[in-house]
Amino acid sequence: MVGSVAVGGDAPISVQSMTTTKTADVDATLQQIYALAAAGCDIVRCTCNEPEAAEGLARIVPRSPVPIVADIHFHHKLALAALEAGVHALRLNPGNIRKPDQIKAVAAEARDRAIPIRIGVNGGSLDPDIEQRFGGATPEALVASAVRELDYFREVDFDDVKISVKASSVPVMIEAYRLLSETVDHPLHLGVTEAGPPPAGLVKSVAGIGALLAEGIGDTIRFSLTADPVEEARAGRQLLEALGLRERKNVDLIACPSCGRAEVDVIKVANDAMAAFADRQIPLQIAVMGCIVNGPGEAKDADLGIAAGRGKGHLFVRGKIVRVVPEAEMVAALVAEAEAIMDEGFDSVLARADADAERLAAEAREELLQIQGLDANRDAQRIERVRNAGGN
């Protein structure tokens, strides 16, 4: 348990991030913690790198909406101070605090307070002797570092532990966690360290974390992006929702990749829609489609969608056209209809569909077909000619 959040076993996979403020700046740090919580973050880590930071934690923890983890790097006394400040967990880097007596002193105090510790191994800060023994930051070296720290903890009868073995190399990170999962029986915190700015950082994080989650490895995650930490929380939450590992909290916006048939700037409309929904907490799948010809059919499984056609937006709910709106009002109409669904339910929204909506949509589709040509997938005559040309 990290505060009120269960980690490991059958508990939902949790999303973590870390504040970028000075922890001594209590108001700024709390503001960022609340923003992270609103974006779907379950646990927040704050640096505890100086006495003033520990004092800040004593004021932050009671006011935080989510559990707080103190990040400790070089000074074990700051870990003891953070425990005194009331944090819900510690993160220790074995490569930075290397004296066994100091490590065990912190573990014993955490044991007495029933506070968990994450052993946070990092490929960039391995213990020099381990790095030399294994010839670099190999998967085996990362796991060896975690196991040695775990052995120190066991000497003082402390095993309330989760472990991470992060590397900036995705293949190394994946292999390290696979090996770790076979070596220990503790919850694992997943991450690709120093992944960098989006979009490359997102790609690397999804590649590493997503691959392991798909294998059933991992209990809590963090996207380590060179970006606003709120982006980390959103990305982590979206990954878990996409994999079906967490219940949807906000919109799942799907959109066609656009093509020559598109009657609207799909990229702009999709981005405007994402901005409009932001953190509205509407857990629906919403589609933005570029044309009325194929759009409603291709996105018929979406809860709600809009398809563009001849200066109009054709609004559909579960595949049924319910309204036709001016193109400039498409995003606003999506938001209004989504809120109506959440307030009143699908049946009510479908019951008051415009009587002429389906007819107007059909007319618009026919007009586009005449201008752009029939959909090749539905042109029976063309298919027959193709078969004849092939000698069938």
In eight-state DSSP terms, residue 353 is -
Along the 392 residues of the chain, how does pLDDT read in single tens digits? Answer: 999 999 999 999 999 999 999 999 999 999 999 999 999 999 999 999 999 999 999 999 999 999 999 999 889 999 999 999 999 999 999 988 889 999 999 999 999 999 999 999 998 889 899 999 999 999 999 999 999 999 999 999 999 999 999 999 999 999 999 999 999 999 999 999 999 999 999 999 999 999 999 999 999 999 999 999 999 999 999 999 999 999 988 889 888 876 666 667 788 888 999 899 887 889 999 988 877 666 666 777 889 988 887 678 888 898 888 888 888 898 999 999 999 999 999 999 998 888 776 676 666 666 666 655 544 445 556 666 667 776 65
Asked if 162 contacts 219 with a C-beta cutoff of 8 angstroms, the reply is yes
Distance, CA of 14 to CA of 298 (rounded, Å):
33
Ordered structural domains, the chain, with CATH: 14-242 (3.20.20.20), 252-377 (3.30.413.10)
**β-bridge mates for residue 323, sequence order:** 315
Model's pTM, two decimal places?
Answer: 0.85
Please tell me the predicted confidence (pLDDT) of residue 377. 46
| Listed residue (258, 266, 251, 353) closest to 303, CA to CA | 251
> Which amino acid, 294?
N
Asked if 91 contacts 120 with a C-beta cutoff of 8 angstroms, the reply is yes
Please tell me the predicted confidence (pLDDT) of residue 363. 61
DSSP string, 32-54: HHHHHHHTT-SEEEEE--SHHHH
CA-atom Rg of the chain in angstroms? 26
**β-bridge mates for residue 189, sequence order:** 220
| Listed residue (272, 205, 275, 263) closest to 237, CA to CA | 205
Distance, CA of 193 to CA of 195 (rounded, Å):
5
| Listed residue (355, 354, 254, 365) closest to 308, CA to CA | 365
Rounded to the nearest 10 degrees, the angle between the axes of helix 266-277 and helix 330-344 is 40
Q: Where are the alpha helices (DSSP H) in the chain?
A: 26-38, 51-60, 76-85, 100-113, 128-134, 139-155, 170-183, 200-205, 211-214, 229-242, 266-277, 295-298, 330-344, 346-351, 357-372, 380-389
Provide the 3-class DSSP secondary structure of residue 310.
coil
What pLDDT digit, counting tens, does each position of 299-314 carry? Answer: 778 899 888 876 788 8
Instruction: Name the one residue in this structure whose structure tokens are 């912190």.
Output: 106
What pLDDT digit, counting tens, does each position of 180-205 carry? Answer: 999 999 999 999 999 999 999 999 99
Distance, CA of 209 to CA of 227 (rounded, Å):
18
For residue 343, report the phi and psi dihedrals to the nearest 5 degrees. Answer: -80, -40
Distance, CA of 204 to CA of 360 (rounded, Å):
45
